[in-house]
Chains A and B, each alone.
Chain A
């Protein structure tokens, strides 16, 4: 298994509170991604990073921010959580070898009440 650790794995939070999800990798891969999975929508890219301090928006970035201060860590922050952000969040990593080397973490289940 690729060395990807997501934390927390499960979280329940209240509307309006800030939430940070952490993705930690031990593979030294350059690219890191945050996806969310929702019924009827599949996997949608929130933000991604192509290097330390280099990040860019995905297709559903509103309400989310990210930071990557170290190669191994990619943080996803919900500044003020809303019920529409209740979802399963997957971190993924890849290297320059190609997209078939994208590996996903096990997911973080977030419920905003």
Chain B
């Protein structure tokens, strides 16, 4: 039962263009969404997040959009740079009661930005 789905295993874009990474979720209890970036042989690093009370959050070249009715979020990178080449993980969470905070991750999308 995969609650967070990244249906595109890979994406290739040209430098300077927009990269759009997509993520779908099935659990309507999720109320917080995050994107992590991972380079080979390194741990994932936090990129950007969005709460379910918002539909957009922007941080520099990175923007995350949330469509709650469609249970869909996307990460836009504009303009894309070769250094953005990495695996991007979508993650979601909800407060399951008490003080438990857990992330559920998608399978990841490998982004390749070509010079």
Contacts and interface: CB of A to CB of B under 8 A. Distances in A.
Interface residues of B, number: 24
Interface in B92-108: 93, 98-108
Contact of A42 (B45, B100, B106): B106
Contacts of B74: none
Given A41-B107, A42-B106, A99-B93, A50 B99 contact: yes
B86 interface: no
A42 B105 contact: yes
B34 interface: yes
Contact of A43 (B41, B44, B46, B49): B44
A106 B98 CA distance: 29
A40 B32 CA distance: 24
Given A104-B45, A107-B41, A43 B105 contact: yes
Interface in A2-51: 4, 30-31, 33, 35, 40-45, 48, 50
A103 B42 CA distance: 12
Interface in A39-82: 40-45, 48, 50, 56, 58-59
Given A42-B106, A107-B41, A107-B43, A100 B34 contact: yes
B25 interface: no
Given A42-B89, A42-B108, A43-B89, A102 B103 contact: yes
Interface residues of A, number: 30
Of B32, B89, B103, most buried by chain A (CB within 10 Å of CB) is B103
A4 B43 CA distance: 11
Given A42-B107, A99-B93, A104 B44 contact: yes
A90 B105 contact: no
Interface of B: 6, 32, 34, 41-46, 49, 89, 91, 93, 98-108
**Which 8 pairs between the two chains have the least Cβ-Cβ distance?**
A104-B43, A42-B107, A43-B105, A100-B49, A42-B105, A104-B44, A42-B108, A106-B43
